[in-house]
Amino acid sequence: MKKFYFLIFVLLLTLPGFSIKIADLPEVLKPKFLEAAGDSIYIASPDTVYIYSGKTGVHLKTFLNRGQGPGEIQHIQKITIFNNSLQLEDWGKLLFFTLEGKFIKEERLGSKLSAIEPLEKGFLARKGFTDEKTRGYHFNFNLYNKKSEIVKTLLRNRILIAGGGNFTKQTIYPIDHLPVVKTGNKKIFIYDKKKGFHITIYNMKGEVIRTIEKDFVKVPVFKSFKERFIKEMEKDKNWQVLKDRFAVVFHDFFPAMETFWVENRNIYTLMYTQDEKIREIWKLNFKGKLLDKFKVPQGDLGFTLGAMNMTLQEETYFYLVENEETEMYELHAQKLGKDN
């Protein structure tokens, strides 16, 4: 009987447009990132990584220790799967693990480098600096070689934390307009949120191949989003200490898309819609031709700044749902297809 239900489960997962719950996630607290590789799903909280089967939802492993020693982490800033390894970014260092969660090594970084995106012959990263006029924290986005030398600056003087000028408060934007960077097919893709639907494709030397721009409908920031964000911030003990130093400012509109993915020589963009429970994925080729659109559930927004609790693999959209009745997170999936 169990085998029969498993076969039904696998069949439903392959049906286009049909969302299913893969598993309850009683182990997961405060999820921040979700990634997929092979048959495994990786969910990261601020200082822990959980591995699950993407087919059955079985919990395979929990790993990582909080600390500053080798193989330990203070706070996960980014999670990347590259060359069959799992790369975790912390303040000032990178940790490398096998896809099974075994520690390989760590590399120390300069304290001002962040948002590391690995490449075969180097890496991409933000390099931060304090703006002398506003006292805000700005950054350049650079292409580096393996010696950590800057090869080219791709984005210049972008604001990470807005300064207050002569005032003491700095500004936090819950819906960030920071660029989103992906790599694939020996190319670099940068989505510039400040310019609307604007994706620039570079070669590995940092030379522009083309820019893709599309018309889109601007979606106002939902009142429910603002209210829940403030509510979640107030629960944080650190925020209670720091909040007098910062002003929280919401933009009037969401950006064109939240994120995007590159796979099988296509770009998949996760678009906001007027329905706060629904998103839309646009499928484009590398020349910018729109091939298809798919409706997908909103899933968990992840109210930790920078959270990304959804991913795409082989046209299957994986996402988290917070069940308020059971007070547990759930892993869900939906195959993209004509029935979306």
Domain coordinates in residue numbering, the chain: 27-276+302-313
Long-range contacts of 56-64 (CB under 8 A, 24+ apart): 56/6, 56/9, 56/22, 56/23, 57/22, 57/23, 57/24, 57/331, 58/23, 59/23, 59/25, 59/27, 61/100, 61/101, 62/27, 63/97, 63/101, 64/88
Residue recorded with tokens 């995007």: 260
Q: Is 115 helix (H, G, I), strand (E, B) or coil?
A: strand
pLDDT along the chain (340 residues), means of 10: 44 63 94 94 95 94 92 93 95 93 90 90 92 80 94 88 58 82 96 96 97 97 89 80 82 94 97 94 98 92 70 96 92 82
Cα 11 from Cα 336, distance rounded (Å): 14
Residue closest to 93 by CA, chosen among 80, 105, 81: 105
Q: Are 310 and 316 a contacting pair, CB within 8 Å?
A: no
pTM: 0.90
Which token pair is 272?
A: 């906001």
Domain 27-276+302-313, what fold?
Lipocalin (2.40.128)
Provide the pLDDT for residue 167: 46
Provide the pLDDT for residue 163: 60
The residue type of 219 is: V
Q: Please report the DSSP string for 16-39 in residue order.
A: BT-EEEEEEETT--S--EEEEETT
Provide the pLDDT for residue 3: 47
Cα 294 from Cα 317, distance rounded (Å): 10
